[in-house]
Amino acid sequence: MSLTDSEISSQLLRLYADRESAQILDLARISDGWETDVYAFAVEHGQASGREREELILRLYPGDDAVGKSAREFSAMGKLYQLGYPVPRVVRLEQGSALLGKPFVVMEKIDGRSLGAISDASPMQRKLELLTLFCRMFADLHTLDWRPFALDPSLHETQRPDETMRHQLSHWQGYTHALQFDAFDPVFAWLRERLPSVQFGSPSVIHMDFHPYNILLREDGAAFVIDWTNVDVSDYRLDLSWTLLLMSTYGSPESRELVLGEYERAAGHSVEQIEYFEVAACLRRLFSILVSLAAGAEKLGMRPGAEAMMKNADHIGSVYARLRQRTGIAIAEVDRLISSLQ
């Protein structure tokens, strides 16, 4: 059962019991996306003659992997902050459910707007400037030292370069099979069959939901990347292909070539064999939607009720069309879903 805003404020106040005359102020829900509930709040404390105020963000994690996601995001953001990569400073991790009913993270609030919202309202020249900033931050992420983010760095250094991708495919397929859902097995087979021909280099830190609405831009021009629940270490093209898919199927199809070209300029190299990873991105998107609709979004660590937000026939149809274009594989379950939404 969800807590009221008043109950959340009262529980948050317990975190600041050691602060003199602490108060929780201005609690407001600011987001309820697929994966987390997000609130803004302020804490004031100190003597009346010199009150101190902190503007903060509360992220609550629902779903089956809530403990893992909260810890993963908190740890990754702390390391990124130390490395100088632009993320909000994390303040506190609570993995238990005693206080707010779910694991949560408290972090600093960035006083800004999403790069996506700013771009939407900007003239073309400004849009292109923001795209350059977006791709430079994306490429910079992929050049960070990945070792602090790997559970066991030695595995990436000693195993064959394609093993990380092989493990990723097995992990995804394990989710679907655990729910007696084998509709995507032909796509998994397609990816495994072609995996030996893919050239791999060094792994990278990957975000796996890097899009303009996950970047906050302050008035002074400073930009910060948020939403690190899917952070991992893998081939950077897995990250890039996900971004290309989202931006070209929710936005205009031309976005794919624009973003890919600008990313290559920012990175200083061409991106080879991206089409293989785009198939993986399509697979991930479609199975997450179908599994969530069939078994509940919580099975994939998302918010209860996120299923309703997934029923976007245009987006699903665009992703499916790209999968079929790349592989020639038809999936009856996806065809039925699209038909039911039209």
* Per-residue pLDDT at 33: 60
Number of H helices and number of E strands within the chain?
13, 10
* Per-residue pLDDT at 313: 84
pLDDT in tens, 199-244: 998 999 999 999 999 999 999 999 999 999 999 999 999 999 999 9
* Per-residue pLDDT at 3: 84
* Per-residue pLDDT at 295: 65
Contacts of 139 (CB under 8 A, 6+ apart): 263, 266, 267, 268
* Per-residue pLDDT at 18: 87
Partnered with residue 28 across adjacent β-strands are 40
Quick one: CA torsion of 242, 312, 330, 291, rounded to 10 degrees?
80
Q: Show me where the domains of the chain are located.
A: 5-109, 113-341
In the CATH scheme, what architecture does the domain 113-341 have? Alpha-Beta Complex (3.90)
- Residue from 15, 62, 7 nearest 34 by CA: 62
Given a contact cutoff of 8 angstroms between Cβ atoms, the answer to whether 280 and 191 are in contact is: yes
Detail the DSSP E strand segments found in 95-192. 104-108, 112-114
Whether domain 5-109 has CATH 1.10.1740.10: no
For 1, other C-beta atoms within 10 Å of its C-beta total: 3
* Per-residue pLDDT at 34: 63
- Within the chain, which residues score under 70 in pLDDT? 1, 32-35, 295-310
Given a contact cutoff of 8 angstroms between Cβ atoms, the answer to whether 207 and 246 are in contact is: no
Contacts of 297 (CB under 8 A, 6+ apart): 34, 63, 303, 304, 305, 306, 307, 310
What is the DSSP pairing of strand 223-225 with strand 215-218? antiparallel
5-109 and 113-341 share one fold:
no
For the stretch 159-179, what's the b/e string if a residue is b when 16 or more beta carbons lie within 10 angstroms of its beta carbon? eeeeebbeebbeebbeebeeb
What secondary structure letter does DSSP report for 148? Answer: G
